């Protein structure tokens, strides 16, 4: 299981928690499991998110590997100027 930390706005959609555990070994699995477990998160995830794994932020990397002890944060999709 990996612990995924959601940003504050997603708390409600995830049943009032900001830390959830899912069975996943890469980004895509994290996103899929989150959508399955908390269907209300789907809209936010589909709008676009970034995933931070051990401090490095990924925008589009389904297969970036995640270890059980990895620090995983779901973040809004980054954009720049």
Partner 1 sequence: MIKTKFKLVGTRPLRPDGVDKVTGRARFGADISAPGMLHALILRSPHAHARIKSIDTSRAEKLPGVKAVVTRDDFKLPEREDLVDICRNVMAREKALYDGHAVAAVAAVSKTVAREALKRIQVEYQVLPHVTDVDAAMKPRAPILHKGMRTIGAEPAAKKDSNVAQIHTFGHGDVVKGFAKADIIIERSFKTEATHQGYIEPHACLATYGADDRADLWCCTQGHYMVRNACAGLLGMEVSHLRVTASEIGGGFGGKTTVFIEPVALALSRKAGKPVKLVMSRDEVFRASGPTSSSSTDVKIGITKKGKITAAQAILRYQGGAFPGSPVQFGAMTGFAPYDLENVHTVGYDVVANRPKQAAYRAPGAPLAAFAIESVIDELAHKIGMDPLEFRLKNAAREGTKSSYGPTFGPIGLEATLKESKKHPHHLAPLGPNQGRGVACGFWFNFGGQTSVSLNIGEDGTVSVVEGNPDIGGSRASMCLMAAEELGVPYEKVRTVIADTASLGYNEVTDGSRVTFAVGMATIKAARQAIAIMCERAAKIWDIPAEAVVWEDGCAKPAGSNAGNFKPMTLAEIAGSAGSTGGPISGHSEATADGAGVSFATHMVDVEVDPDTGKVTVLRYTVFQDAGKAIHPAYVEGQFQGGAAQGVGWAINEEYIYGEDGRLQNPGFLDYRIPVASDLPMIDTVILEIPNPGHPYGVRGVGETSIVPPLAAIANAVSEAAGVRLTHLPMSPPRVLKAMMENGKGAA
Interface positions, 38-77, toward partner 1 (CB under 8 A)? 52, 54-61, 64, 71, 73, 75-76
- Asked if 3 touches partner 1 (CB under 8 A), the answer is no
- The single residue among 1, 9, 36, 68 that binds partner 1, judged by CB under 8 A, is 9
Q: Starting at the earlier edge strand, list the strands of the sheet with 19-22.
A: 19-22, 2-5, 72-76, 49-53, 56-58
Instruction: Supply the minimum distance, in Å, between the C-beta of residue 2 and partner 1.
Output: 14
Interface positions, 11-30, toward partner 1 (CB under 8 A)? 11-12
């Amino acid at each position: 299981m990996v612990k995924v930390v959601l940003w504050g706005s997603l708390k409600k959609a995830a049943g009032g928690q900001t830390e959830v555990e899912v069975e996943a070994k890469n980004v895509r699995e994290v996103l899929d499991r989150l959508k399955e477990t908390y269907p209300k998160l789907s809209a936010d995830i589909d709008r676009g998110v970034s995933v931070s794994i051990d401090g490095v932020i990924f925008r589009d990397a389904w297969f970036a590997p995640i270890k059980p002890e990895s620090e995983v944060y779901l973040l809004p999709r980054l954009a720049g100027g």
